[in-house]
A = this chain, B = another copy of it.
Amino acid sequence: MRRTLPSTSSLACFEATFRHRSVTRAAEELNMTQSAVSRRIQSLEELLGKSLFRRENRQLIPDIAAIQYGKDLGRLLGELEAVTTRFISQGHELGLLTVAVPPTLASRWLIPRLNDFITKHSHIDLNLVSKIKRFDFDNEDIDVAVYLGDGNWPDVHLQPLMSDFVVPVCAPSLLNGQEIKTAKDLLKFPLIQHTTRPLLWKNWFTELGIETAKATSGPKFEFHSHAIGAATSGIGIALMSDLVVQREINSGDLIIPFGGRTKFEDGYFFVYPPKMKNDVNAQTFGFWLQQQCASFLATTP
């Protein structure tokens, strides 16, 4: 019979509903839709051949016989969680989380906010690893990553954080009094390129209906901070994710010569391998990141 025991998913759905006396509340707790939980319970009743709840109007009343079963399951699922967590965390440095982040995003956006995380989760030791190349969980000693891209990566789990808005920026001195009326006028100046995003300018011009070979020409920098430094030094116009140049724009070191923020298909993602799905620290960090992004977006036009 062991093979045909109900699945942990079904049992968890029943137990949470039993505890809350509510399918909707159970769904919230389990991070599932209410319809999925409802179906899981009915499927379990069919498998067991017995009713678990009486349906009275919009309320679920546990059948008398199911009450002890619900209590037993609560205890057993709790123990199963405990022994599984204990096994997973064995040999793994408790509380250490190695996060791979693009260096400029780290220094310009994440690190200024990290005090909030550290204060709230002092038991988690973060190990920030600056990465320009894409994450590689199989061959690198990293647990999770924040990365910018289209999210089309195999064998990993993603949580979207926020969209990528880019904006052209340059030093005021670069223009030297010249007026920028159209996007095409930008081509009179050097376009600062990103090694990691070689098609960024090209795609930006394409969005505006302009096709030009000049879009991929110009000095290239691997570090975004170097690209920002180049722009600030008047070397050319850089196309940057707006959240990493806010300080320069606010201080006037950089200006926006043309247009505003452009939303791109790429976005920032919190990325982790399947084995981190159950890691409480990893999921805690991911959740905090999402909250920070939501808060950031709410205060940015």
Chain A interface residues toward B at CB < 8 A: 1-9, 11-12, 15-16, 30-32, 46-50, 65-66, 68-69, 72-73, 76-77, 79-81, 83-88, 90-91, 273-280
Docked complex Cα distance between A207 and B66 (Å): 55
Taking CB atoms, residues of chain B closer than 8 Å to A12 are 2-3, 5
Rounded to whole Å, the gap between the CB of A104 and the closest CB of chain B is: 30
Number of chain copies forming the complex: 2
6 residue pairs bridging A and B, Cβ less than 8 Å apart? A3-B12, A3-B31, A49-B88, A49-B274, A50-B275, A65-B87
Interface of A is mostly: helix
Taking CB atoms, residues of chain B closer than 8 Å to A65 are 87, 90-91
Docked complex Cα distance between A48 and B90 (Å): 11
Given known A47-B278, A80-B76, A83-B69, contact A7–B4 (CB-CB < 8 A): no
Docked complex Cα distance between A3 and B50 (Å): 23
Taking CB atoms, residues of chain B closer than 8 Å to A79 are 72, 76
Rounded to whole Å, the gap between the CB of A20 and the closest CB of chain B is: 13
Docked complex Cα distance between A76 and B80 (Å): 7
Taking CB atoms, residues of chain B closer than 8 Å to A274 are 46-47, 49
Rounded to whole Å, the gap between the CB of A273 and the closest CB of chain B is: 8
Task: For A3, give the chain B residue with the smallest CB separation.
Answer: B30
Rounded to whole Å, the gap between the CB of A137 and the closest CB of chain B is: 10
Rounded to whole Å, the gap between the CB of A32 and the closest CB of chain B is: 7
Q: Is the CB of A48 within 8 A of B87?
A: yes
Docked complex Cα distance between A34 and B6 (Å): 21
Task: For A48, give the chain B residue with the smallest CB separation.
Answer: B88
Q: Is the CB of A32 within 8 A of B3?
A: yes
Q: Is the CB of B4 within 8 A of A275?
A: no
Task: For A275, give the chain B residue with the smallest CB separation.
Answer: B49
Task: List 6 other contacts, CB 8 Å, given A5-B80, A7-B7, A47-B275.
Answer: A2-B77, A3-B32, A47-B278, A48-B84, A48-B275, A49-B279
Rounded to whole Å, the gap between the CB of A143 and the closest CB of chain B is: 9
Rounded to whole Å, the gap between the CB of A121 and the closest CB of chain B is: 17
Docked complex Cα distance between A114 and B115 (Å): 77
Docked complex Cα distance between A32 and B4 (Å): 11
Q: Which of B5, B90, B276 contacts A77 (CB 8 A)?
A: B5
Docked complex Cα distance between A9 and B10 (Å): 12
Taking CB atoms, residues of chain B closer than 8 Å to A275 are 46-50
Q: Is the CB of B87 within 8 A of A68?
A: yes
Docked complex Cα distance between A5 and B6 (Å): 13
Q: Which of B4, B77, B83, B277 contacts A73 (CB 8 A)?
A: B83
Rounded to whole Å, the gap between the CB of A294 and the closest CB of chain B is: 23
